[in-house]
Structure 1
């Protein structure tokens, strides 16, 4: 940005603290000259990511999509890195038809599949009931 007027890293809230509805950007301002724009501006899906999700996305992109590199950078197992990336895709609405649980059942090895299911429960993207059903199906 020009003029060094960059924000100190504060991120705007995504949801209304009163009712929980999605907040919209309706005003933009220039700290340099005071110009303001008012209207209804499109939301940036990537702006709603928290710091850990942004780090995951940055590592994934900088490693050119290599999940093994993501695994090394985050210091987690491959199934955990894959589960976190799947969760990120779900949050961004980019998961397509694949549900997070589908990735867990296709993981190689029973222990990897179990670890991935548990990681999804921990991340809050899979209900404990559905996880129990998936784990019961594993050998």
Structure 2
């Protein structure tokens, strides 16, 4: 049974690279320094979520149903994957939709700013 390639060092948490590749058919071996794709950096939990997300074509209702989690939890998991892949988190994910609406009701932001934040 083959194990999945680790994306991060279990000792210091730095990125790993592949040093050797071997063909399962003819047993040719290639040695060098090969970079892993950014998806290898995802935790098992994040990879499992991405699998469900893709299987359900991003349909949040279906993801909620399959995983038995709420909409905010789906959004939170998606934001965790986005950040783990090296992308900037959404301002709405950081502050939350509720916070944006509270700021609007307190007059701290304009309606246009709130709409912009909620669309991101």
- The equivalent residue for 1:98 is 90
Shift of 1:44: 1.2
Give the direction of change, closer, same or farther, for the CA distance of 1:30–1:59 in structure 2 (3 Å limit): same
Gaps of 5+ in 2: 100-120
Cα RMSD for the two superposed structures: 2.3
Establish whether residue 24 from structure 1 lines up as the match of residue 5 from structure 2: no
User: Which whole-Å deviations, capped at 9, do the CAs of 1:75-122 have from their partners, x for residues lacking one?
Assistant: 01110111011101110123x3525xx41533358xxxxxxxxxxxxx
Gaps of 5+ in 1: 1-7, 110-139
Given candidates 76, 85, 97, the residue that maps to 2:78 is 85
CA contact (8 A) 1:67 1:78 kept: yes
* SS of equivalent residue, structure 1 residue 38: strand
TM-score (norm 2): 0.67
- The equivalent residue for 1:34 is 27
Shift of 1:68: 2.0
Given candidates 44, 55, 59, the residue that maps to 2:37 is 44
Give the direction of change, closer, same or farther, for the CA distance of 1:83–1:18 in structure 2 (3 Å limit): closer
CA distance in 2, matches of 1:20, 1:63: 31
Larger Rg: 2
TM-score (norm 1): 0.59
Query: Higher relative contact order at CA 8 Å, sep ≥6: structure 1 or structure 2?
Result: 2
